[in-house]
Amino acid sequence: MSTRYKLGKEVPTAELCKRLDELATAVTKGRAAVEREFVMRIPAEVDIDPDLVLSEAAIRLERAEKLISQIASSCVVPNPGVGRMWRRWCAEYFNQQ
């Protein structure tokens, strides 16, 4: 049982990513693996419980996309073509990560 973290926002992103990979692997391994991995515990474990891990990952992804959009739109670029290129590069770069 993991009780290292009390809130989802305290879980390091690397640990969230590791758990997301475990959940994705379970989905590909069949019903037994899904039943083993997709359980909710009492008390909740914010770094293990799939509903909490998925929720926190979605929150962070949405926050990151907003931040990227704000940064890209706040860039002062004298040439509109360069601005479009910058936004396209940001979108492609962060979608590959």
Residue 97 has pLDDT above 60, yes or no: no
Q: Is the pTM of this model over 0.85?
A: no
Give the single-character DSSP code of 76.
-
Task: Please indicate, yes or no, if residue 1 is contained in any of the structural domains.
Answer: no
Q: What digits encode the pLDDT tens for the residues 5-56?
A: 999 999 999 999 999 999 999 999 999 999 999 998 888 999 999 999 999 9
Number of independent structural domains in the chain: 1
Domain of 38 in residue numbering reads as: 8-96
Task: Please indicate, yes or no, if residue 3 is contained in any of the structural domains.
Answer: no
Task: Please indicate, yes or no, if residue 2 is contained in any of the structural domains.
Answer: no
Taken as a whole, the chain contains a residue count of 97
In angstroms, what CA-CA distances link 67 with 9, 49, 62, 63?
17, 27, 9, 6
Task: Please indicate, yes or no, if residue 89 is contained in any of the structural domains.
Answer: yes
Task: Please indicate, yes or no, if residue 18 is contained in any of the structural domains.
Answer: yes
List own/partner pairs for 77-84 with CB under 8 A and 24 or more apart: none
